[in-house]
Amino acid sequence: MALETIDLIAGPSAPKRPLADAFARPITYLRVSVTDRCNLRCVYCMPEAGLPWIPNAEILSFDEIERIVRAAAAVGVRSIRLTGGEPLVRPDLPDLVRRLAAIDGIDDIALSTNGLLLADRVVELARAGLRRANISLDTLRPDRFEAIARRPGLERVLEAIDASLAAGLDPVKVNCVVMRGSNEDEIEAFAELTHDRPIFVRFIEMMPVLENAAAQRDAYVSADEIVERLGAIGTLRPDAGPPGNGPARYFRYAGAAGAVGVISPLSHDYCDTCNRVRLSANGRLRLCLFGDYEIDFRTHVRNGAGVDELAALFRGGMTIKPERHHLRLGEPASRMRALSEIGG
């Protein structure tokens, strides 16, 4: 199905009440993509040559993002996650964090990143109001890192994890996409990272996107298999995990400082508890990460829409947010999505 852009006409401001969709799920979490560009070319995410990037003139400015987030806060959104692409390739990101942290009602700002640029900027980001970080890392071996990401950089990512902990970000989550024949033999090594440091390693099922659908069927490792492997190296106890908005199920080893988790969009979807929507870098509000509908916020913002009008647009979007996605093994989602986007 082709992606369809819905232009909901924003009318007068509705009475103030928490944002909820047609299935009575409260929507409190907005993911904001600040760029579609990335400094890696991970094999499960995009072709080595990159993608047709969005023209700069179509990318939301920080002023426009701030106005949309103010509207989201006015209808009950409390948590913001900055994503990309790779969000740190956009200059002056701490300025955006500072602006969003000052918005009344926004209680939590997080960052999803591949970590290459994070170590040098994490202190400034934390001072600006960043609270949490998700760092993508699919291998602990330098040769495999370059094979998977098509770029070097393992040491920079490991440095970013330590720098994030030192800067006081809490929690620090590490997202690992598990791929059979590529890195599934490192599950146990990743689990070891949680014993001495308060990090949360989450193993993500590889999902079918346009570039990897053919390979995904053979590379797929289910969350159930991952948990079985984790349990074979020590007793696992269910764990509440860190506070936040993510869909992971967590487990902890006795005496461990951190925890392990699994994110299972294919084998055990978490649509029943979905609390999020996503704003693309060019100002489209996507109501489901793998859905076919989006709402054009950029046109309204650039036509001078104020907070009340944009808030009404958020409410209107809830009438078409789907109940669930319909991912199936080996069948590509409607549009390419970086797997780092999945973990909250």
User: pLDDT tens, 178-229?
Assistant: 999 999 999 999 999 999 999 999 999 886 555 555 555 678 899 999 999 9
pLDDT of residue 10: 45
Q: How many distinct structural domains can be found in the chain?
A: 1
| Residue at 161 is within a domain | yes
| Residue at 51 is within a domain | yes
| Residue at 87 is within a domain | yes
Beta bridge partners of 293: 4
C-alpha to C-alpha distance for 235 and 50, rounded to whole angstroms: 42
Weakly modelled stretches of the chain, pLDDT under 70: 1-17, 207-217, 244-245, 265-270, 290-292, 323-344
Q: By the 8 A CB rule, do 105 and 74 touch?
A: yes
Q: By the 8 A CB rule, do 161 and 174 touch?
A: yes
| Residue at 110 is within a domain | yes
| Residue at 207 is within a domain | no
CATH number at 79 reads: 3.20.20.70
pLDDT of residue 208: 58
User: pTM of the prediction?
Assistant: 0.88
| Residue at 233 is within a domain | no
Largest CA distance in the chain: 58
| Residue at 238 is within a domain | no
pLDDT of residue 192: 96
Q: By the 8 A CB rule, do 45 and 292 touch?
A: no
| Residue at 99 is within a domain | yes
Domain that holds residue 94: 4-170+274-341
Q: By the 8 A CB rule, do 116 and 39 touch?
A: yes
